[in-house]
Amino acid sequence: MWIISITCEDTTGGDRPGEARRDLLSGMTIERWVPSQTYTRQETAILKSLRRTRKLFAFLRDHRHEIFDDEMQSALEAMYRNTGAGKDPVCPARMAMAALMQGYLGVSDAEAVQLTMVDLRWQMVLDCLGNTEEAFSQGAFQEFRQRLIRHDMDRALLEKTIALARTSEAFDYRKLPKDLRIAIDSSPLEGAGRVEDTVNLLAHAGRKIVDCVADLLSWPRERVCTEAGIPLLAASSVKKALDYTWSDPADKAEAVSVLVSQLASLEAWIRDRLPHELARPPLQEHVETLRQVMAQDLEPDPTRGGDRSDKTTAVCIRQGVAPDRRVSIEDKDMRHGRKSKSKRFNGYKRHLARDLRSGLILACAMTPANRPEEEAADPIEQDLVHLFEGELPVTNLYIDRAYINAPLVDHVLEHGGEIICRPWQARNGELFSKADFKINVRDRTITCPANKTQPFDFGTTIEFEPEDCDRCRLRDQCTDASLGHGRTVSIADNEQLQKRLRRLAHTPAGRARLRERVPVEHALARAGRRQGRRARYRGVRNNLYDWRRASLLTNLEEIQRHLTLAAAAALAATAKPRRCTGLTVLRNAA
C-alpha cells in the first residue's frame, strides 16, 4: 500500500510517495491513497474464498484504484480544504471505501470500524492487511459521513459507478444508443424514529426540553421537573404517572389537560429562568418541537370553553389528522404515508431512475412518505442533468401514474421524448365515465353520449347545458345531479397526453411497451434489499445518502456481473474445441 502524504501548501507537488502539498490556508495534511495493483499470496487466497459469497469484496479489491482515482480523491480531499481547522483527516478515500463496505454488509458504524481490524476482507480492500489496530475511530467515521453528505459526494460516488461501467468495458458503450430510456419508480422506507400517540409525543418533546435544561444547568432531571412544575416527566412513563382510564373520553381529555398545563408551566419557567438559551439551539429547537406537536395535535375543547387563542388549557386531542403531521420526535422528517388505500407506513419514499439499456441506476431521491411522487422527479431531473453535463437526453421516460404531473414529464416532451405510463382510470360508479365522452383535443371540444358538444379549456371542469341534460333520455345513466344542473367533466392539464396514453394501453403493442419498465422494479427491489425495509438514519438527507450508497453498490454488482459474463464468453471463444469422438469416427469413415 502506498499512502502519499499530501500536506496542502505546495499544490504542485504530489503524486509520488513522499511528495507533499501544503494548503497555505489550512496547513492540513491529507493522505492520498495509492492502492497496490499487484496481489500478494494472502490476497490471492482471500480472493479465492470470495468466489461464491460476498463477491463484491473481490470486485472492490480489483477496481479500488479506478473508483478512487486521482480525480475522485481530489474531490474527497477538497471536502477538507475550506475548513482550515481541526485535526489532520484520515485518508478520505479509505474512509469512503469503508463506507461502501459498511453499506454492503449493513453494519453499524461501531462494527464497521471494528471490521477494519478483525476482518481480512476489509483489510484486503483497504490495503491494510496485518493491521492490529482499527483504521480510524468511530467519531472520525461519523464525521466523515456528514462531510460526504454536506458536499454531495454520495452523488459523485454514484456517478463514478457509471463512469466505471464505461472504463471497465462492462458494457459496449459504442453499441449502446446515446439517447436514454429511463424508468422511475419508488418504494416505502420505514423511518428510524419511534412513532407515538399524542400523549407520548407531548411527553417525549417535554422530556427533551427537561434533559436539555438539566444539561445546561448541570442539574439532575428530577430537580428540573420539580422546579419547573412538571412532576409528570420525572416518572418513567407519563401515562403511568397520569393514571387515567384511557378508554374513557372524559378521563382522556382530563389527562391531556393536566399534561398540557404542566408543559405550559415548564415553558413559562424556562422563559423566566433561561431567556437567552431559549433563543438559541439546542433549547430553542426542543421548545419549537413541543410547540409544533401542540399546534398539530391539539385543538380547543368546546365542551369546556376552550378558546382557540389559548392552547394551554381546555384543549383536547384534535379530531382527524393535521396536514403534514409530525409523527416522531427523534426524526422530524418522518411522515405517515400509504402503500395502498388500506396499507399505511411511517417514514419515507425512496425513488430511483434506472437506465433500461445498461441496467444502471442513474439518480436517486428521498421524500417524506406523505409527499406526492411528482416532487421526487425534480431532484432526479437535476441529478440527471448534472450527470449528463447540462443535457437531458431522455427519449423514453417510463413512469408510474403518480409522476405524471412532474415538470420532468413536460421537459421530456418538449425535447421530443416520449412518456410511457398507464393513463388515469376514468371511474364514475354505474354512471357514464369520462371514457364514454369523445374528447377532441385539437378543437378543444367534448361530446357526450347524447351527442351534445361543449368547448373546454385544459385544467378546468366543464358543465353541459342544464337544459340539455334535464331533457336528456340518458340522464339516469349519466348524472345524479339535481334538475337544473348539467353533467360535469374534469379536463386535465395534460389531457392530450392522457388521451395518447389511453390509446397506448388499449393495444397489445402498447401494453408490451408498458411492461418494458419492469426492470426498474427489479433494481428497486435489489437496492431496497441492500438498504433494508427500515431506515438506518434519521432525516431525509441522511437517508438519501444511504439510498444512494445502496444504489451505487447495486450498480457495482451489475458491472461485476457483466464483467464476469464477458470474461466467461471470452474464455469460451478462445478455448480449444474438445475432441469429438463421434466426428472423428465419421471423418475416418469418410
In the list 65, 318, 411, 452, the residue contacting ligand SF4 (rule: CB under 6 A) is 452
Rounded CA separation 349/369 (Å) = 5
Residue of 154, 52, 187, 191 lying closest to 523 (CA atoms): 187
Q: Closest CB to ligand SF4 among 487 and 530?
A: 487
Q: Closest CB to ligand SF4 among 179 and 470?
A: 470
Binding to ligand SF4 (CB under 6 A) within 43-82 occurs at none
Q: Closest CB to ligand SF4 among 344 and 438?
A: 438
Q: Closest CB to ligand SF4 among 158 and 469?
A: 469
Binding to ligand SF4 (CB under 6 A) within 151-180 occurs at none
| 436 near ligand SF4 (CB under 6 A) | no
Q: How many other CB atoms are found less than 10 A from the CB of residue 76?
A: 27
- Amino acid, res. 424: W
Q: Closest CB to ligand SF4 among 352 and 448?
A: 448
Least separation in angstroms between CB 498 and ligand SF4: 20
Least separation in angstroms between CB 337 and ligand SF4: 38
DSSP 534: B
| 450 near ligand SF4 (CB under 6 A) | yes
Q: Closest CB to ligand SF4 among 32 and 487?
A: 487
Query: Which DSSP string corresponds to 224-293?
Result: HHHHTT-GGGGSS-HHHHH---TTSHHHHHHHHHHHHHHHHHHHHHHHHH-HHHHTSTTHHHHHHHHHHH
Least separation in angstroms between CB 458 and ligand SF4: 20
Q: Closest CB to ligand SF4 among 108 and 453?
A: 453
Buried b (16+ CB within 10 A) or exposed e, 362-384: bbbbbbbbbbebbbbbebbbebb
Least separation in angstroms between CB 446 and ligand SF4: 9
Least separation in angstroms between CB 451 and ligand SF4: 8
**Sign (positive/negative) of CA torsion 504, 508, 511, 512?**
negative
Q: Closest CB to ligand SF4 among 194 and 485?
A: 485
Least separation in angstroms between CB 483 and ligand SF4: 11
Rounded CA separation 489/462 (Å) = 5
Radius of gyration of the chain from its Cα atoms, rounded to whole angstroms: 31
In the list 449, 493, 496, 513, the residue contacting ligand SF4 (rule: CB under 6 A) is 449
The count of chain residues that interact with ligand SF4, using the rule CB under 6 A, is 14
Q: Tell me which long-range contacts 293-298 makes (C-beta under 8 A, separation of at least 24).
A: 293/198, 293/201, 293/202, 293/205, 293/326, 293/329, 294/202, 294/260, 294/263, 295/322, 296/322, 296/324, 296/325, 296/326, 297/198, 297/201, 297/202, 297/322, 297/325, 298/198, 298/256, 298/260
Q: Closest CB to ligand SF4 among 357 and 452?
A: 452
Q: Closest CB to ligand SF4 among 175 and 473?
A: 473
Rounded CA separation 314/261 (Å) = 9
Considering only 135-143, 328-336, 443-451, 534-542, which stretch makes contact with ligand SF4 by CB under 6 A?
A: 443-451
| 514 near ligand SF4 (CB under 6 A) | no
Q: Build a one-symbol-per-residue string for 461-490: x at contacts with ligand SF4 by CB under 6 A, - elsewhere.
A: ---x---xx--x-xx--xx------xx---
| 439 near ligand SF4 (CB under 6 A) | no
Q: Build a one-symbol-per-residue string for 192-211: x at contacts with ligand SF4 by CB under 6 A, - elsewhere.
A: --------------------
| 448 near ligand SF4 (CB under 6 A) | yes
Residue of 402, 411, 358 lying closest to 184 (CA atoms): 402
Q: Per the omega criterion (within 30 degrees of 0), is the bond before 282 cis?
A: yes
Q: Closest CB to ligand SF4 among 215 and 476?
A: 476
Q: Find all residues with CB under 8 Å of 273, minimum gap 6, and list them.
A: none
Helix, coil or strand: residue 337: strand
Q: Starting from the edge strand earliest in sequence, which strands make up the sheet with 438-440, in order?
A: 438-440, 445-447, 453-455
DSSP 15: S
Least separation in angstroms between CB 481 and ligand SF4: 9
Binding site for ligand SF4 (CB under 6 A): 448-450, 452, 464, 468-469, 472, 474-475, 478-479, 486-487
